[in-house]
Structure 1
Amino acid sequence: MMRILHSLPRTHKLLLLPVATMVTVLGAHKIVTAVEDARHDRQTQDTVLVPLEADATPGVPALNPAPVSEAIHLASRAMDATREPVPVSELAATEIVDVSFLESSPEIAAALPARDEEASAPRLDEGARHLAIVIGTVASGMLAADERLVADATSYEDISEDELELFDEGPIVLEEEIAASEPYVPEWQTYTVESGDTFAIMAQEHLGMGYGEVMNLLESLPEPRLLTHWRVGQHFEYQLDEQGELLALRLMKNARDGYLIERGEQGVEVATIERAGEATQRLYAGTVNGSFARSAQATGLTSAEVARLSHVLEKKLDFRRDTRRGDRFRVLVESDLIDGESLDPRVLAVRYEGARMNLTLVRNSDDNRFYTPDGESLDPAFDRRPFDGYYRLSSHFNPRRRHPVTGRISPHKGTDFAMPTGTPVNAPADGRVEKVGNHPAAGRYIVIRHDNGYKTRYLHLSRPLVSRGDRVTRGERIALSGNTGRSTGPHLHYEVLVNNRQVDAMKVDLPESQSLSGEALVAFQRAAEPMLAALESGETGTAVASTAAEASDDEG
């Protein structure tokens, strides 16, 4: 192995060529060295300035031409040696180092000139040596790039004064500049109520609010109990600004409804929150075993859903008299699912198969009323008069009527029609006979509860034709008129009650026929098809529940 070792380290020899060239040829007052690290192509370039004294002359002091030329010659030969092999015969004696294998090679030994042990090796000028040590270290990567030297280095960029001022405080670090310019974005935080917490103290400690602001907030909130009557484990969400003061407060009464409170310069503003849920359908199937309500709850229906179902069926079904053990029913319910909680249940369809009645009802989304699959309404037309033909109205409805004998106010809460005894009396609408009796003043009488919730009463009858609990339909004969009880002559006393209060039967708004027809009927039947199919097949994508309730048959 051969090395070129003489006087200076090899790295410094390689640096003598560019150093000497810049000093002697360019004659610059300042030496500018462009540094490029060949091992890191993307490394940024540095500029090194070596200032000279104001009275200095071109060139480097203490550098004589002979030593400089010699340095250039040695550096050139050293560089050549790094690029391609140099024949041994061309090497000077001072450039050869003894190695053990030289003695065993006659060819090499013959080519080598005789050594002059006493000949002194030429030495470099101390100025060149010092300059190489100072500058060469910086420029060590310049020659390692082979042909990429700085002989033709230049710049074509035109940099304005304004642009230079941007870098007066140093280079810009992009990540830091972006982080500094990002606006503050408040995040929602959650507070969970613990034992002993009060909103007034919590708001001052965590929300940056004063006592007066807390009172103003409570006065602005439609339901202040949400903040004044806390339960352990409740939680609400809030946002704070950069100073740690309240920006917004979100209170939820349940999974769907709540309030958004925002704090501004003018005080607090309160807005309502209503979350939309995902509509889901559930099918429940059961068998009557005791009361209908308990049997329905046994399928998994909630109390609210059972109440809605009972309200739908009671217009056609008397739960006390018409239900029998073993009757079957199916109910299709739709509700909004929010965070796993079922809200706002809606009965879509129901089928009841009983010993005394079969009934199928479907909800119409256009008017939220229930109809049979044929489009017949649960609220049929209601006749104004409960008889056929025309009979004179002998006494009007009058809550301020005076008694003809005593002169005192004696309200007349019905309408009297003068008619011969035995005139047929008809049911004005479908319903159920609630009472049949005999009263000293009213005489023989009948009370009917109709499917639309109205009631009718018939007094001074000669003969009832129905019994308590009977189902009657519109136009069906229910009694014969008479003159029983306290009566001044044959007539029919007729009353209509709405919400158990007597109203003027000749003026009250009565239900008209709500049965569907034409395009409305076609649209309803098209929408009802999947609901009827679910009732028939028992498949809606959810499990079907069944009852297991056990109760006595006489429970209402």
Structure 2
Amino acid sequence: MMRILHSLPRTHKLLLLPVATMVTVLGAQKVFTTFEDVQRDRQTLDTVLVPLDADASPGLPALSTKQDAVSDALAKANRALDATRGHVPISALTASEVVDIDFIDAARANSAESAALTAASSPADQEAVEVARLDEGAQHMAVVVGTIAAGMLELDDGMVADATSYEDVSEDELALFDEGPIVLDQEIVATEPFVPQWQTYSVQSGDTFAIMAQEHLEMGYSEVMALLDSLPEPRLLTHWRVGDHFEYQLDEQGDLLALRMMKNARDGYLVERQDDAFEVATIERAGEATQRLFAGTISGSFARSAKATGLTSAEVAELSSVLEKKLDFRRDTRRGDRFQVLVESDIIDGESLDPRVLAVAYEGARMNLTVVRNPDNNRFYTPEGASLDPAFNRYPFEGRYRLSSHFNPNRHHPVTGRISPHKGTDFAMPIGSNVLAPADGRVEKVGNHPAAGRYIVIRHDNGYKTRYLHLSRPMVSNGERVTMGERIALSGNTGRSTGPHLHYEVLVNNTQVNAMKVSLPDNQSLQGDRLVAFQRQAKPMLAALQSGQTGSVVASTEQPAADDDEG
């Protein structure tokens, strides 16, 4: 019914408003009864004959009602229809009774035509009532009125009038639109574009990638080999373990579009099909930087005690490499020493990756040490800006002494005359002259050798080693910590020596180099603006060490480790 109402021309909808009000409330028994009679008599729809009483006045037959509101609605409808026949001036209508002017003109023309036809008819025909020829829009409106009345209004006896279609449709016409039942889900799927979805495959016992790819990814053997050849690390697919998994995408035909596999939570590879080849891109996931604070007490070895706090093996290794420049774990640590470590790492899927030691505080019986990482160069400094990698003096003594023999890999031996490389630098020094440590470090060896005489080996904080031969008296012992400028020995003439002198060697990566030409670190301590910037960045890390709280996650344990002497 709504479809019929929407199909009406705008002007006829306006005319229908007062009429529809009357029909909805009372019904138009006269109208739809006459219309049904016309249909039963198989008259055409072009002309509708409405029988009127001899004393009928223009307008619709009055219907009995007991309500004033209904009477008003009916009166308005009658006046609107009378205006269409010319019996009431248009100017006499109220705003609610206004009708389309074009429709009124057409109605008047039809009324004149009907009057002329009646005058020319025979007396028998004149017994029929006035014939009203409706134009197409008016006919459409009249049928709608009848349909509304038939479907919605009750008759006097309480029965509901039958609704009906007013235009026949042939089977041939129906066949043109017969597309079968419409299934909404199927219609939606049919119109949506195909979007490949990521699927996950978990490795089962006995799986091989070659067989799996042929059965699940619609790949031929040659394609499988080409894919493996394109991977930088084919072991990710050829050396499977049960529980490993990877993700893949298929196209509409079920062929492989893309393959995604991860080595760990951060790194992996994305393989995409491009025409007949495979292109590989690396995947690197960004994690959330998280700080964690660990606190522990020395009980046994430092490594075991550090791991008891919850630090991973990688974190313990980095912590040890930081502290070993100043701390001898075998000699300087004592049971009961306390330490705190601030570690930052990237958290991805609950896994800690790329741990970085930010700050360390060690409180011990023999040493107190606090160091903080400088983010500008990733080196560690004390809160005052002193570096763990101090400067390195070129000469291991004060004053000036003659260089009696240079570093020379092709030197001739002074006694035999044969090629005998000289891998150190000799300084002619009186016996008993002071020998000083050129940089901070730890004594690695104090010994005596038939050729070298009494000697000392020191490992320095920057990784270099120094050796001192032909000494008269060592002033340090094995494992002792030394600082730059500290007296470590007295020069002499022990071992195979042609005269009093100091044989001095510098070793880089355990290989002797020319001590007079090797690149040595300058003073690494921070000064000026660099020191101010470092202390500003170190402030929150030092506060975390002191308070036991960080900006994100804090993990603190103090579980005693097993008592052992492992380093």
2:280 corresponds to: 270
Residue 255 (structure 1) aligns with: 265
| Residue 137 (structure 1) shift | 11
> How do 1:152-171 and structure 2 match up within 5 A?
none
Of 539, 545, 557, the residue aligned with 1:545 is 557
Give the conservation status (yes or no) of the 8 Å contact 2:406–2:424: yes
Counterpart for residue 427 of structure 1: 437
Q: What SS does structure 2 have at the residue aligned with 1:80? A: coil
Matched, 1:346 2:363: no
Take 1:249 and 1:281, find their aligned partners in 2: how far apart are those partners? 34
CA distance in 1, matches of 2:345, 2:242: 29
How many residues matched? 444
- In structure 2, the residue matched to 1:197 is 207
Q: Tell whether 2:161 aligns with 1:140.
A: no
Contact 2:28/2:146 (<8 A) preserved? no
Correspondence 1:326 to 2:336:
yes
Q: What is the CA distance between 1:21 and its match in structure 2?
A: 9.7
Q: CA deviation at 1:145?
A: 8.5
1:504 equivalenced with 2:514 (yes/no): yes
Q: Secondary structure at the match of 2:63?
A: helix
In structure 1, the residue matched to 2:466 is 456
Corresponding position of 2:425: 415
Distance of aligned partners of 1:71 and 1:555 in 2 relative to their CA distance in 1, 3 Å threshold? farther
1:228 aligns with 2:238: yes
Structure 2 residue 290 is the aligned partner of structure 1 residue 280: yes
Can you list the C-alpha shifts for 1:406-464, whole angstroms capped at 9, x where unaligned?
Answer: 55442222111222222221100011112212111001111111111211100011222
Q: Distance in 2 between matches of 1:396 and 1:72?
A: 148
Give the Cα separation in 2 of the matches to 1:461 and 1:268. Answer: 68
Change (3 A) 1:414 1:78: same
Q: 1:59 to 1:363 in 2, by over 3 A?
A: closer
1:182 deviation in Å? 3.4
Q: Distance in 1 between matches of 2:44 and 2:211?
A: 73
Distance (Å, rounded) in 2 between the aligned partners of 1:512 and 1:370: 15
CA contact (8 A) 1:12 1:136 kept: no
Within 2, Cα distance between the matches of 1:203 and 1:452? 53
Summarize the Cα distance change of 1:145–1:71 in structure 2 as closer, same or farther, 3 Å threshold. Answer: farther
- The structure-2 alpha-carbon separation of the partners of 1:520 and 1:210, relative to structure 1 and needing over 3 Å to count, comes to same
Question: What is the rounded CA distance, in whole Å, between the counterparts of 2:403 and 2:241 in structure 1?
Answer: 64
Letter of the 1:369 counterpart: R
Equivalent position to 2:503, from 493, 518, 525: 493
Are 2:370 and 1:360 equivalent residues in the alignment?
Answer: yes
Offset at residue 261 of structure 1 (A) = 0.8
More helix by share: 2
Corresponding position of 1:476: 486
Q: 1:80 aligns with which of 41, 50, 63?
A: 63
Instruction: Report the CA distance shift for 1:145/1:513 in structure 2 as closer, same or farther (over 3 A).
Output: same
1:544 partner amino acid:
S
Which range moves more in the overlay, 301-310 or 495-504?
Answer: 495-504
Asked if 1:15 corresponds to 2:27, the answer is: no
The equivalences for 1:61-76 within 5 A come to 68-69=51-52
Letter of the 2:566 partner, please give it. E
Q: Kindly state the Cα deviation for residue 179 of structure 1 after the two structures are TM-superposed.
A: 5.5
**1:525 shift after superposition:** 0.7
Contiguous gaps of at least 5 residues in structure 2: 1-26, 71-127, 129-141, 154-175
Change (3 A) 1:281 1:230: same
The aligned residue for residue 392 of structure 1 is: 402
What is aligned with 2:539?
529
Q: What displacement does 1:80 show? A: 2.0
Q: Percent identity?
A: 73
CA RMSD of aligned residues (A): 3.7
1:467 deviates by: 2.0
Match of 1:382 in 2: 392
CA distance change for structure 1 residues 455 and 282 in 2, over 3 Å: closer, same or farther? same
Structure 1 CA distance for aligned equivalents of residues 144 and 289 of structure 2: 78
Structure 1 position 555 matched with structure 2 position 545: no
Instruction: Say if 1:17 and 1:72, in contact at 8 Å, map to a contact too.
Output: no
Secondary structure of 2:400's aligned partner: coil
Deviation at 1:497, TM superposition (A): 1.3
Amino acid aligned to 2:278: V
Per-residue Cα deviation, 1:283-340 (whole angstroms, up to 9, x for no partner): 1111111111101111111111110100000000000000011111111111111111
The offset of 1:191, in angstroms, is 0.6
State the distance in 2 between where 1:476 and 1:400 align: 34
Q: Secondary structure at the residue paired with 1:255?
A: coil
TM-score calculated relative to the size of structure 1: 0.72
- Residue 174 of structure 1 deviates from its aligned partner by 11
Q: Summarize deviations over 1:163-183 as a string: whole Å, max 9, x none.
A: xxxxx9799999988754533
Equivalents in 2 of 1:30, 1:414: separation in Å?
129
Alpha-carbon spacing, 1:178–1:385, altered in 2? closer, same or farther (3 Å): same
Q: Supply the AA of the counterpart residue of 1:331.
A: V
CA distance in 2, matches of 1:71, 1:495: 143
Partner residue in 1 for 2:345? 335
What amino acid sits opposite 1:419 in the alignment? M
Residue 298 of structure 1 is matched in structure 2 by: 308
User: Does structure 2 conserve the Cα–Cα contact (< 8 Å) formed by 1:362 and 1:370?
Assistant: yes
8 A contact 2:360–2:370 mirrored in 1: yes
* Unaligned runs of at least 5 residues, structure 1: 1-9, 32-57, 87-123, 125-134, 147-167
Q: Which amino acid aligns with 1:193?
A: V
Give the 3 Å change call, closer, same or farther, for CA 22–464 of structure 1 in structure 2: same
Question: Against the structure 1 CA distance between its residues 79 and 351, is the aligned structure 2 distance closer, same or farther, given a 3 Å change threshold?
Answer: farther
Q: Is residue 426–residue 476 contact of structure 1 (8 Å, CA) maintained in 2? A: yes
> 1:367-394 CA distances to partner (integer Å, 9 max, x unpaired)?
0000000000000000111112222322
Residues 84, 534 of structure 1: CA spacing in aligned structure 2 closer, same or farther, 3 A cutoff? closer
1:229 CA displacement: 0.4
1:498 maps to amino acid: V
TM-score of the pair, normalised by structure 2 = 0.71
1:209 corresponds to: 219
